[in-house]
Structure 1
Amino acid sequence: MNTERWVRVVAGFFVLLSVALGAPGSPVFVSEWFLVVTLFVGFNLLQSGFTCFCPLDRILLKFGVPGSGACGR
């Protein structure tokens, strides 16, 4: 898998986890503050769509994961 797919997988995992932990109706509810994680992930995805800068993408590249070729790489 390339970095773009890993970013999508990790972002999706964190959104699902934070909603499960932050939604009051969830059986694993902890606190509404976990919904801030969903906001953070969404903001990072939005800004990376405009700027082509994603911190997780850079970290994955340093670990040797093949790049996606997006954004002129």
Structure 2
Amino acid sequence: MSLERSVTAFAGFMVLLSLVLTYWVHPLFVWLTAFVGANLLQSAFTGFCPAAIVMRKMGIRSDREQAAATR
């Protein structure tokens, strides 16, 4: 899985997790949903994503890196 798809999957998982936590644990977990949404929005404009930095350090490669490796 590429870095871009991993970031998208992680964001989706965090949104769903925060909704579950909001419903079954405490209503204030809705702020986790807001944080993930705000992070996605700022990432779209700035290109800075903390999750992508962590995933890159874990060895997940971007689409471009994967394509270059298959040549």
Instruction: Provide the TM-score with structure 1 as the length reference.
Output: 0.80
Counterpart among 52, 61, 69 of residue 57 in structure 1 = 52
Gaps of 5+ in 1: 24-28
Which stretches of structure 1, 4 residues or more, deviate above 2 A after TM superposition? none
Cα RMSD over matched residues?
A: 1.1
Whole-Å Cα distance in 2 between the matches of residues 68 and 42 of structure 1? 23
Higher relative contact order (CA 8 A, sep 6+): 2
Q: 1:58 to 1:44 in 2, by over 3 A?
A: same
Cross-structure match for 1:26: none
Q: How many residues align?
A: 64
Gaps of 5+ in 2: 65-71
How far is 1:58 from its partner? 0.9
1:56 counterpart SS class: helix
Instruction: Provide the TM-score with structure 2 as the length reference.
Output: 0.82
Give CA-to-partner distance per residue, 1:14-44, whole Å, 9 cap, x none. 1111112213xxxxx1111111110000000
Cross-structure match for 1:43: 38
Higher helix share: 2
